Structure 1
Amino acid sequence: MRNIFVVTHPEATHHLDQLVGGWFDSELTPAGTIAAAAVATELRTRIPENVEVELYSSDLRRTAQTAEAVGAALGVEPILDARLREKSYGEAGGRPQQWLDARYVPPPLVGDRMGHDEGIPGAETKAVFAQRIYAAMDSIVASTCRHQVVVTHGGSLTFVIAAWIGMPIESAGYAAFRATPGGITELREDDFFHNRQVFHLDGTRHL
């Protein structure tokens, strides 16, 4: 059985400051740091001792800080991968959330939802966002390690799961999986059928 634990980073400063996250390099708040320690403790109880573990993380500070706490508990160094970052919101990154809300263009009900960029200059389209997350997951799943942890962002989680279950990118325009900051999603693949399961979405009992 392969197990992948996907962690969405806990509370970061951009949450409290009501700023747009994306590639804006915010850091964990004191409460977020406590939650990251709780995530690490929970994962230590769920991953057996003395087994190989791989730890992957977005390279932004809030995820890297979370991964550092997890790595210390598991005795493994995080592998930082920029492909696991949150969606880039271009010019909106780091600005007040109200700035983005006033300019935000929602995706169309039908049509090219994956080509949509919310109408913000410099923002990634959903297709570009998905392609890099899918590429990161391809690299992670190519490993033979049976116990893996991925630390990423709330927006990125949708495409992590979509990639895991083999959803074609062109079909992912309506997909949405939501998680609590600091939540743990467990993905499993069995050894016989090699079916991939979303075993538990957004576990929060440790918070």
Structure 2
Amino acid sequence: MPVLHLVRHGESEWNLAGRVQGQSAEAGSLTARGLRQAAQAARLLAERYPDIDAIFSSDLPRARETAEVIASVLGLPVRTDPCLREQHLGCLEGRRFADPLGEGTVQDAVERLWREPWRRPGDGESITDLYERVHATLDRYAAGPGREVVLVAHGGPVRVATTSADPRRREPVPRVTVGNATVTTVDRSRCC
């Protein structure tokens, strides 16, 4: 059973602009800082984990670019997997977190999704949906061959992959900070 290294993408143009990214292809490429962050994650992976066999990435541009930087250091190809995408945030995508929405802001609406994981933003995906998609995907990779696998994804998938809360039971999921290009190692043999 391989050990899985989850990497959040480097800083994107919409990260810098304070916009909700979700699955929007318009979220832009990595910034210069994002490319540096990806290179730093690649060096860390190369130094600490010499047994990495494969790299898979969300097919969204910001994750793919991060994966390509990592792949260039590790000498491995990148394969894309849409199951590693960020939560689909529907009508919230592209809006600034600080924009007014209802009686609060877009940021408040996003936070509410984590407190009430059954809620779906218009035309979007709930935290429960995200949790089920991500955990099924991690189970698939954990059952595969190899010793260590890098999965380049997004903040939402990393949060639901590492939470002890179960949104399927309507438990709120903490919206912990996941920094750009951070590496989170998950050993699926110790869970579920």
In which range does the TM-score fall when normalised by the shorter chain?
0.7 to 0.9
**What's the TM-score once normalised by structure 1's chain length?**
0.77
Q: 1:20 to 1:72 in 2, by over 3 A?
A: same
SS in 1 for 2:186: strand
Give the 3-state SS of the residue equivalent to 2:152 in structure 1.
strand
Percent identity between the aligned chains?
A: 26
Q: How far is 1:81 from its partner?
A: 1.0
State the shift of 1:34 in Å.
1.0
Residues 1:147 and 2:142 are matched in the alignment: no
DSSP 3-state at the match of 1:23? coil
Q: Deviations over 1:163-197 (max 9, x none)?
A: xx8x75524733334321111112236xxxx435x
Q: Tell me how far 1:3 sits from its aligned partner.
A: 2.6
Name the counterpart of 2:159: 158
CA contact (8 A) 1:13 1:28 kept: yes
- In the superposition, relative to structure 1, how do residues 171 and 75 fare at CA in structure 2: closer, same or farther (>3 Å)? farther
2:173 aligned residue:
175
Aligned AA (2:3): N
CA distance in 2, matches of 1:98, 1:71: 35
Paired residues of 2:52 and 2:150 also in contact (CA < 8 A) = no
CA distance in 1, matches of 2:135, 2:15: 26
Match for residue 38 of structure 2 among 36, 39, 43: 36
Q: Which runs of 5 or more residues in structure 1 are unaligned?
A: 197-207
Q: Which residue is equivalent to 1:186?
A: 185
The alignment yields a C-alpha RMSD, in angstroms, of: 2.6
User: SS state of the match for residue 5, structure 1?
Assistant: strand
Contact 1:157 1:178 in 2 (8 A): no
Whole-Å Cα distance in 1 between the matches of residues 31 and 113 of structure 2?
32
Q: Deviation string for 1:16-35 (max 9, x for gaps)?
A: 12211111232110110011
The 8 Å contact of residues 59 and 82 in structure 1, kept in 2 or not, is answered as yes
- CA shift, 1:147, in A, is 0.9
Higher relative contact order (CA 8 A, sep 6+): 2
TM (normalized to structure 2)? 0.82
Compute the displacement of 1:57 (Å). Answer: 1.1
- The one-letter amino acid paired with 1:186 is T
Deviations 1:73-92 (A, max 9, x none): 11111121111111111022
Is this contact kept in 2: 1:37–1:70, CA < 8 A? Answer: yes
Q: Which amino acid aligns with 1:184?
A: V
- SS of structure 1 residue aligned to 2:40: helix
Taking a change above 3 Å as real, the CA distance of residues 137 and 93 of structure 1, as seen in their structure-2 partners, is: same
Which structure has the highest helix share of the two? 2
5+ residue gaps, structure 2, are none
Structure-2 change in CA distance of 1:52 and 1:14 (3 Å): closer
Question: Is structure 2 residue 93 aligned with structure 1 residue 93?
Answer: yes
Residues 126 and 173 in structure 1, CA contact (< 8 A), matched pair in contact too: no
